[in-house]
A and B are shown apart, each in its own frame.
Chain A
């Protein structure tokens, strides 16, 4: 069974890189939707639910933390797993993200294996190969 994904990042380049990573990572991905900020993401979620979201922090209009906070306060959206994909490396920030309900965290620049390892529990994989988690990717 495949699962739909929403990528939220203001960089179209990053969205395409993540999309390509999802393609080659052997995950059970269905439709991949895109949004360039939190407001667009919420509009996308009104039209079609997704199994997981990959969200940047640093975006205009509504950033990733604002989006995560808004979704956790919404009964319909609060249980959608959100993996933060960001440039930030602060331990305080990562702890903050965990406290407001992020499922996991992957730091840019990331290797495809890091993204796959964080998403495997959510999406499942088409093969049974396993990899050790890198220090820059984490499940909360």
Chain B
């Protein structure tokens, strides 16, 4: 459903801006094949169940970690903590997304986010899938995939 894609984009952009002072745009830059790509996923379980999957290049995670920590991107802890930063970002995003989609009445438990290195650049499928959003952040292409178990949700109150 078109609302899912829009909600993913809007929430991601809002949280990234408020938390890390990083800004998105819709321009779909070419995904870099010169960088390592990461996949971070977090599952939500409650009356509805699903998984949020995030694909980004390592460069994005370093920028995120540096901004969250308020340090220079070349600082040593940025490399060490870049995966932790993106896991925590996904934890926060998923919590907000669940509220946006399903409201704040029911309890949803989130899994511990998992991050892994991908063997190659992921396939970008946003153009043909309403549950997928693609954005650019500081020239880095990223992709958010919402995998729903059962019926595709629409945002709460929609």
Contact = CB atoms under 8 A, between A and B. Distances in A.
A14 interface: yes
A107 B93 CA distance: 12
Interface residues of B, number: 27
Contacts of B99: 89-90
Interface in A68-120: 86-93, 96, 107-109
- Interface-centre pick from A13, A20, A86, A107 (highest chain B CB count, 10 A): A13
Contacts of A86: 95
A12 B106 CA distance: 29
Contacts of B110: 58, 87-88
A13 B105 contact: no
A123 B86 CA distance: 31
Contacts of B1: none
Nearest to A58: B110
B104 interface: yes
A109 B19 CA distance: 7
A34 interface: no
Nearest to B19: A109
B107 A11 contact: no
Contacts of B112: 10, 58-60
A10 B87 CA distance: 10
Interface stretch (B27-35, B62-70, B126-134, B139-147): B62-70
18 contacts: A11-B87, A13-B81, A13-B88, A16-B69, A58-B112, A87-B91, A87-B94, A87-B95, A88-B107, A88-B108, A89-B96, A90-B107, A91-B104, A107-B95, A108-B91, A108-B92, A109-B15, A109-B19
Interface of B: 15, 18-19, 65, 68-70, 81, 84-85, 87-88, 91-92, 94-96, 98-99, 104-110, 112
Cβ-closest 3 pairs across A and B: A87-B95, A11-B88, A89-B99
